[in-house]
């Protein structure tokens, strides 16, 4: 009977040691700090262009996981991201407004526009 009591005590101590003294590191609390989205500039390598030529546009922004979306009323873009090339369509002339929207991982969006004059 003494051996059984001794064995039960050893088993209980062993169980308490593994259950009660866990070495798991607690999870880090989520960070409330967000990196602000800042849309610094939208520039073009020229402010006017002859039809059939192109304009290189560059957007500068900072934040977390930024995506860039470009819009234009006439023409198209080559490339993607912070630097694209604007290609006016064959019927494009006059002032053309080009827009760029930057969006971060938190869903914040900022936009800028630039006007390019296309000579027909």
Q: Please report the sign of the dihedral spanned by the C-alpha atoms of residue 80, residue 83, residue 89, residue 93.
A: positive
Any idea which of 29-33, 36-40, 76-80, 115-119 has the lowest mean pLDDT? Answer: 29-33
- Taking residues 48-64, report their average pLDDT: 96
Q: What angle do CA 107, 110, 112 make, to 5 degrees?
A: 155
Burial class (CB in 10 A: 0-12, 13-18, 19+), 110: middle
Q: Cβ atoms within 10 A of the Cβ of 27, count?
A: 6
How is the chain split into domains, by residue range? Answer: 38-119
Choice between 69 and 29, residue whose per-residue pLDDT is larger:
69
| Structure letter (DSSP) for residue 90 | T
* Domain 38-119 -> CATH class: mainly beta
Q: What is the pLDDT of residues 74-119, one digit of tens each?
A: 999 999 999 999 999 988 999 999 999 999 999 999 999 999 999 9
Give the pLDDT of residue 52.
87
């Amino acid at each position: 009977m003494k051996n059984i009591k001794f064995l039960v005590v050893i088993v209980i101590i062993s169980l308490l040691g593994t259950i009660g003294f866990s070495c798991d590191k607690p999870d880090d609390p989520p960070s409330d700090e967000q990196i602000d989205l800042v849309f610094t500039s939208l520039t073009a390598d020229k402010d006017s262009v002859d039809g059939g030529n192109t304009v290189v546009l560059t957007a500068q922004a900072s934040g977390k996981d930024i995506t860039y979306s470009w819009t234009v009323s006439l023409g198209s873009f080559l490339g993607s991201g912070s630097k694209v090339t604007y290609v006016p369509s064959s019927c494009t002339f006059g002032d053309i407004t080009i827009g760029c929207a930057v969006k971060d991982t938190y869903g914040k969006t900022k936009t800028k526009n630039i006007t390019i004059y296309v000579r027909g």
